[in-house]
Each structure stands twice: as structure tokens, then as C-alpha cells.
Structure 1
Amino acid sequence: MSTTVTQQPQGSTLREYKRWLRVSLYTIFLLAGQCTATLLVRFYFDKGGKSKWIAASVQSAGFPVLIPLLFYSAKNDKSTNHDSSKIETKPKRSVILSLYLGFGLVIAAMDLLYACGLSYLPLSTFALVCATQLAFNTVASYFLNSQKFTALIFNSVVVLTMSVTLIALNTESEDTKNLSKEKQIIGIVCTLAASATFALHHSLLQLYFEKVIKTETYSAVLRMSFYPMLIATVGGVVGLFGSGDWRSMGMEMKEFEYGRVSYVMTLVWTSVTWQIACIGMLGLIFEVSSLFSVVIGNLELTLTPILAVIVFHDKIYGVKVIAFLLAIWGFLSYIYQHHLDDQKAKQDKSAAGLQGSKGEGEI
């Protein structure tokens, strides 16, 4: 009996270590992929690229990278289908197809808005405005996912709003002197709209898992990314041909500052790195939660302004420093609230376990 008692905690600890190793790996995928992809899109516009539809299309066009994972996850789910807690319910095919279509159109709109924001704003400013994803996610989660609206979250929303307001009011900076004020305002509005769409997408995704299939298997998470991205890519291609931007691809490639090969590789690696970020995001949704995935994804927004200074030599003026510090403050407030929620959930689980043990003892 003593051997059993000592071995069980060791096995549980080993599983926990493996789980957090996977979480750490997915976090690296999400942050590295998202930072690199954002830098590459900004590089595309800086070095001669002009088409927003091309920049939007490549964000989803790397979806075939997920095909091996789809086969692996489907096979893995079949091998564990004896565990009823991991089997997803099967809604009607028409419901699933309509959801794929709806999510795909949302992603297509989000990709285009992000491309517009990146084309009109310096990367550091773009990242700071994107920090409003947390505020939008809070509001969307409150109405759609019944998330509590605490003082820390309210503080995060207010501080992030102040950060973006400072950026919006200070468009006459050194690093935006080549852009008209109208284009800068359009860039800020598009980025805000993209951030709101991003938050809505994640909240609806969480609602889908909770209310439609009522569980999260890895294959279900992958399918809800793969098929909407396929639809988003088709939407991007339709927009590319409908806008006539496809005619300028040859000229763009010829006039690209670093040559044709660099032009093609920029677009290819943008697609690949977005999918690496997507794998990280899906892994975090599966291992932890949709909310945790959003919080970790927003950590990239604190890294990008630093990378923008190193890679693109963006200017760091006084107001932007204050806005950056406010964004960090808002992010940390949100993270701390997530930590408190996690601790409370663990305490509730432990209390429930102890109550159950007492009940068994009485019997």
C-alpha cells in the first residue's frame, strides 16, 4: 500500500511537468510566430509592397501546414475514444458548415483590417494600438462567456484605452512624417476594428466549444482553425482578383527593394510563421483555455515595439514611451487577474476534493 501511495503523486507530478512543457512550447510558437509574421508584413510594405489584399491573403494561406496535424489528431482521438470526457458531440453538418463559413469570413475581415493598419502605421504604433485586444476581449467575454468584470480588469480596460488615446492624439511624430494624418487615422481605426474582431472571434470560438460541441478535443480545435482559414484564403483571393491588385504583383516583385526572390520568400514565410503562431494558439486553447491563449498572444504586443526599434529603427518619442508603459501596466493587471482566477479555481477544486474524501470516510 505504501508503494502505491508514493507512486501516484509522482505520476501526477510527471504528467503536470509534461503538460507545462507543452504549454511552454506552444507559448514559444505563438510568440515567435506572431512577432515574426508581424515583422514580415511590415517589411513587405516598407520595401515596396503596396497591396493590402496580398498582405491579407498570406495571413491565412499557410493553412495546409495544419494538414499533418489534422491526420495525427484524428488518429489520436480514435485511439482515446474510450474516454467519454474527450469525445466531442456531433452537431448537424449544416450547422458546422455554416459556422466554418461564418468564422472564415470573420478571419478574412480581420486579416484585411490588420493589413490596412500595418500599411499605414509604424510597427511600434500598430502594436500599441493592438493592445486594445485585451479590452475588447474583456467586453466580449463579459457578454458572451459570462466572465466577471473585476476591478483589475476594469483598470486594464481604462489604462489600455488611455494608451491608445495618447497614440491617436499624437500622430505628428517623427516616424510618421511620410504619412498624411488622414492615413494615420485610417490605420488606427482599422487596427482598432481588427482588435475588436479578434476579440469577438476568440469569444465566439470559446462559445462554440462550450455550447455547440461542449468539449475541446485537439482535432476539433484544429478543424475549427483549418476550414475557416481555407474559407478566409478563398475570400482573400476573391478580393485580390476583384480589386485588380493581382495585376500589380509582377510590378511589385520587380520593384521590391531586395529583389524577386526576397519578395516571394517574404510572402511565403509570412504564411508559414502565421501558421506556427496558429499552432501555438490552438495548443494553448486545448491545454489551458481560449482566454489564456488571448492573454499570451497579447504578450507579443509588448515585444513588438522593442523589435520595431531594432529592426525598423522606429523612433521612440516621449508620448510613445508613456503609452508603452501604460500598455504594460494594463497587460500586467489582466495577467494578475487571470492568476487570481486560476488560484481560486484550484482552491475550489481542492475544497471539493476534501469534501468528497470526508463523505467517503463517513460512509
Structure 2
Amino acid sequence: MVKVLVFINCIILAIGNCGGPLIMRLYFNNGGKRIWFSTFLETAGFPVIFIPLLFSYIARRRSNNVGDDTSFFLIKPRLLIVAVFIGILSGFDNYLYAYGIAYLPVSTAALIIASQLAFIAIFSFFMVKHKFTPFTINAVVLLTVGAAVLGMHTETDKPVHETHKQYIIGFLMTVAAAVMYAFILPLVELAYQKARQPMSYTLVLEFQLILCFLASIVSVIGMFIAGDFKALPKEAREFKLGEALFYVVAVFSAIIWQGFFLGAIGLIFCTSSLVSGIMISVLLPITEVLAVIFYHEKFQAEKGLSLALSLWGFVSYFYGEIKSGKDKKRIQQEVESPETEQSSLSSEC
């Protein structure tokens, strides 16, 4: 069952991770200017989570198992409070990311986000006690250097209609978004560990629902302050693809981004925050290639070097994990072997 959940979460994470930035950039490329509105769309799809929660509730009601909780929500106050806190953090993190996408090519933003694996590894070490290996350290260094390379010769990558100042601010905002989300992922894992109630995938869905609801509230407040509600009708009419497609883009953006967030925290439940971060990072080169194909973004030498360093970092980390897994298996077999021999001798006696 765990393997099935891992596979499902990887699929929906892949759709959200690759499709989310592309459809967000589609909005900005065709006349969209409201950053808080884009932030809102990142989590506005949370009502779709009610569908699997309803099926879970019906299944519990039909079950005759003694002790089954038949209330619609299973989440308890301790985990609820953490979900509210992380939801508020996510709202501001989404704004940082939306701001970056507004002023950066998707391919550039994707390579910057690749650096978040380094920060996830660091935060995981301190928060949930993930161990560092030489391969992990190598991957962290390579990914960090890869992101830093993008800061060189930024003028050649700047969209024509934007100023150098806007580009630099977008660059820094994206870096800040990567660091903040790198903190959020281990925080979610820590919340699961300290929940004081048995964790299930239903609880993960409830956690995601509350998290996105609070993040959406933060976005709505931001939209109100920025005057987005008054500006959106006019923006929809002036949208280059047409008013109808403006709303189509908005709806699909909300649904696709929901896949990203649900896949990310679902993988944390099935594996760990570090694995979730690795999966996000592995998918980023695909996002970059799609951006070059669909939006004809430039692919300079700096991007090529950054991509090479990122891929080297991914390979280094995965090799280290495979090697570590083999070593653990070998040690376990060596420990179990004397016990098996001793048990065999005892039975013969």
C-alpha cells in the first residue's frame, strides 16, 4: 500500500511541479500582473481535497471495526494548530515564489529552486535528525554553486520588457522562496512525528486542506490590500488569450498547483521531507526544458553549467543513498547471521 501511495504522490507531484510554473508564467506572459492573485491560485484548489475525504468518511462509516472514528475530520488540536501555522507560512512563501515567476523566465526560476535541496538537507539535519554523508554534502555544495552561477551575467537572461532592478528582485525573491519552502518541508515531517495521534493518509489530506485554506486566506487579504478584486475584471477583458481563457487558466492553475502541494506532503508521509525535496529537484530539469520548448526561453552557457552541476548533485545524492542502503543491508545480514547460527545450534542440542 505504501508503494502505491508513493507512486501516486510522485505522479501528482510531477504534474504540479512541471505544470504549475508553466501555467503561472502563461498568465504573466499574456497580460497578467496581479501577484497576490497568482499567489492565491497556488492554494485555491484545496476544495478538491473534500472528494477523497468524503470517500474516506463513507468507508469509515461502513466499517464495523470497533473503535473506528466516524467523525468527518480526524485531526486533533495539536496537529491542527501546526497546520494553521504552516499554512500561514506557506501563504507568504507562495507570494515570494509568484513574485519571482512574474519577473524571471521559468527555466531560471527552476534552476534557482533546485538549490532548495541543499537547504532541505540542512534543515532536516537539525529538525528531524537526518544524517549527512559525504555524498549528501557533495550534492548540497554542487546544487548551491549551480544556483549561484545563475547570478552571473543576469542581463542576458532578463526579459525585454523588464528592468534590471525587477529582475534582481525577482531573483532574490525566488531564492527566499526556495529557502522558506526548504524549512516548511522538514517542519511538516516534524509535525507528523510529534502529532500524538496515529498518522494516516486521511490525516495527511486533512492537514493539506487546512494548510491550503490558511494560505489562501493570507492571499485573499493580500489581494484586498493590493486592490486585485477591483482590477481583475478589467485584466480578464484585456487578457491576450481572451476573457474566457483567462478564467480557464485560473481554474487549471489552481488544480495543477494543488497536485504539487499534495504530492509534496504526501511523499513526506510515505518517506521523508528529504526524499520529497529530492523528487522536486529531479523534476526541475524537465520544467526547464519544457519552458525552453513552449516559451522559447534563452538557454545560455550559465544555465547549461547550472543544469550540469544540478544533475551532478542529483546523481551524487542518489548514488550515496543506494550505497548507504546496501551497507545497511550488509550490516544487518552480518548481525542476523550469528543469531541464526546460534539458534540452529540450540535446536540441535
Q: Same fold (TM over 0.5)?
A: yes
Matched pairs, number: 340
* CA spacing shift, 1:92–1:260, aligned 2, 3 Å: closer
Contact 1:77 1:217 in 2 (8 A): no
How far did 1:274 drift?
1.3
- For residue 92 of structure 2, what is the aligned residue in structure 1? 109
- For residue 321 of structure 1, what is the aligned residue in structure 2? 304
Distance 1:24 1:320 in 2: 30
DSSP 3-state at the match of 1:172: helix
How far did 1:290 drift?
2.9
Distance 1:67 1:349 in 2: 43
- For residue 129 of structure 1, what is the aligned residue in structure 2? 112
Give CA-to-partner distance per residue, 1:147-199, whole Å, 9 cap, x none: 12222111112111211211112211155343222111111111111111111
Distance 2:15 2:105 in 1: 20
* CA spacing shift, 1:71–1:128, aligned 2, 3 Å: same
How far did 1:344 drift?
4.5
Moved more, 287-296 or 349-358: 349-358
* CA spacing shift, 1:143–1:176, aligned 2, 3 Å: same
Matches within 5 A, 1:41-56: 41-56=24-39
DSSP 3-state at the match of 2:150: helix
Query: Quick one: which amino acid aligns to residue 314 of structure 2?
Result: F
2:7 corresponds to 1:24: yes
Contact 1:153 1:334 in 2 (8 A): yes
Contact 1:134 1:199 in 2 (8 A): yes
Contact 2:105 2:159 in 1 (8 A): yes
Distance 2:75 2:23 in 1: 39
2:20 to 24, 37, 43: 37
Contact 2:18 2:283 in 1 (8 A): yes
How far did 1:279 drift?
3.6
Matches within 5 A, 1:1-363: 19-74=2-57, 79=63, 93=77, 95-213=78-196, 215-347=198-330, 362=346
Query: Quick one: which amino acid aligns to residue 15 of structure 2?
Result: A
Kindly, what percent of the aligned residue pairs are identical? 31
How far did 1:80 drift?
10
Moved more, 201-210 or 347-356: 347-356
* CA spacing shift, 1:60–1:161, aligned 2, 3 Å: same
How far did 1:318 drift?
1.3
How far did 1:21 drift?
4.7
TM-score by length of 1: 0.85
- For residue 3 of structure 1, what is the aligned residue in structure 2? none
Contact 1:209 1:215 in 2 (8 A): no
Moved more, 345-354 or 289-298: 345-354
Q: Which runs of 5+ in 2 are unaligned?
A: 69-73
* CA spacing shift, 1:81–1:41, aligned 2, 3 Å: farther
- For residue 10 of structure 1, what is the aligned residue in structure 2? none
Distance 2:133 2:198 in 1: 27
